Structure 1
């Protein structure tokens, strides 16, 4: 319970990073996560070629077409479950209504690697750090309380012994 306030601060920081990377992702990839699905894609270079060949022009499940979709894609990246597919889609993205090309823009790796380093490893590990730090703080306070109780018991025993000796001396 004592970790909730510091975790709240980290949630705000994490949301800020997600929104920053989400807006950047929309600027970099909006409308570029579409691809043609069909049998022979060798001569397909854009959406109109795909539709003329009676193939399907489909959007990837995780994309950056708006901020909500971008945040969902970033969440998948941060959870490290399926992040490779999203990264490869970003590397292959050519342009709006353009068929993806294998490793078209390798510089987009900077976006994905920086997100993974900053958010996944740094910010999300701050959650663990806060919980561990609060655990240690609670343990130290509990140990201090235990030491205080032991000291009080020791003083009571000494007081009891002193009183019994005083009674013994008074009785002589």
Structure 2
């Protein structure tokens, strides 16, 4: 076979793979490779979980910081409309420079920029400037001021703690767990592991609430307890998350009005869901059936109605953010 032919190149590539035969001759290598292969489904599930985690914090960042990282290169300017003309930059040796109202390399102006910023933060590289920016934000169109919003540090610290110190270590934990299970070095026998798994499942089992003798309450009870009700609610919540991720800085008035309309559509659906659950189980039965999530759902629905009607600029954003607790609830039951 000529060295320049495609077949010859293919054969040379095949020679490179010959060292992989060592895997079949080394029991330790076989255990590691088999553990990695068996952990792939769990790793894929963890990737989905991680993406959902980033989506939640990305939408939170959109609501809190979209359009608020912009600043004027002239520190004496306080408002965007005043950031025009030129000024003498003393830090650059007295050079005359034009004033520019610009964003830093990172932002939360749209969901793509939010993902990029969060990836930089979770890698713990270049996260200090982001920390300073979230603490300095004031409002859209206003110059950031040092430590103007120190409470925003909670957002970044919580994300770093959950993302860098917890979520990223799930991959290692999953691979190690499958390695121990496959290699037989786990401390528990199969029967003992099944017993532990059963205990974990039983923690999420709630007592069945008996339906009412009243015909109209029996209708709502059968509706809420049907097998398709919870999957339908799950799909609605995920669709709401997708809708929340569509907002961005500089969006048109029509786009904003459309997102507000979508917010009220989902709010109406959540009100109907909450009403159906209360009518099916009764107020006391509803609260006791799934504490503390039942109480949170009630507060979230009230907040979604009161927030936009309160007149505060961030009322709608805070109300939307309240729905993220439902996503956490779903994750705990997966």
Determine the structure 1 residue equivalent to 2:147: 103
Query: Hey, what's the Cα distance between the residues in 2 that align with 1:92 and 1:52?
Result: 25
Determine the structure 2 residue equivalent to 1:5: 41
Query: Hey, what's the Cα distance between the residues in 1 that align with 2:82 and 2:124?
Result: 35
Query: Hey, what's the Cα distance between the residues in 2 that align with 1:134 and 1:83?
Result: 33
Q: Please, what TM-score do these two structures have when normalized by structure 1? A: 0.76
Determine the structure 2 residue equivalent to 1:167: none
Query: Hey, what's the Cα distance between the residues in 1 that align with 2:99 and 2:108?
Result: 23
Greater length-normalized contact order (CA 8 Å, ≥ 6 residues apart): 1
Aligned-pair Cα RMSD in Å: 1.4
Write out per-residue CA displacement over residues 48-78 of structure 1, whole angstroms, 9 at most, x where no aligned residue.
2222444111111110000110011011111
Q: Please, what TM-score do these two structures have when normalized by structure 2? A: 0.40
3-state SS of paired residue (1:44)? coil
Query: Hey, what's the Cα distance between the residues in 2 that align with 1:64 and 1:137?
Result: 42
Determine the structure 2 residue equivalent to 1:90: 134
Alignment coverage as a number of residue pairs: 138
Moved more, 115-124 or 18-27: 115-124
Given candidates 102, 123, 127, the residue that maps to 1:79 is 123
Query: 1:45 aligned to 2:78?
Result: yes
5+ residue gaps in structure 2? 1-36, 87-97, 186-334
Query: Hey, what's the Cα distance between the residues in 1 that align with 2:158 and 2:43?
Result: 23
Determine the structure 1 residue equivalent to 2:61: 25
Query: Hey, what's the Cα distance between the residues in 2 that align with 1:12 and 1:95?
Result: 34
Query: 1:116 aligned to 2:160?
Result: yes
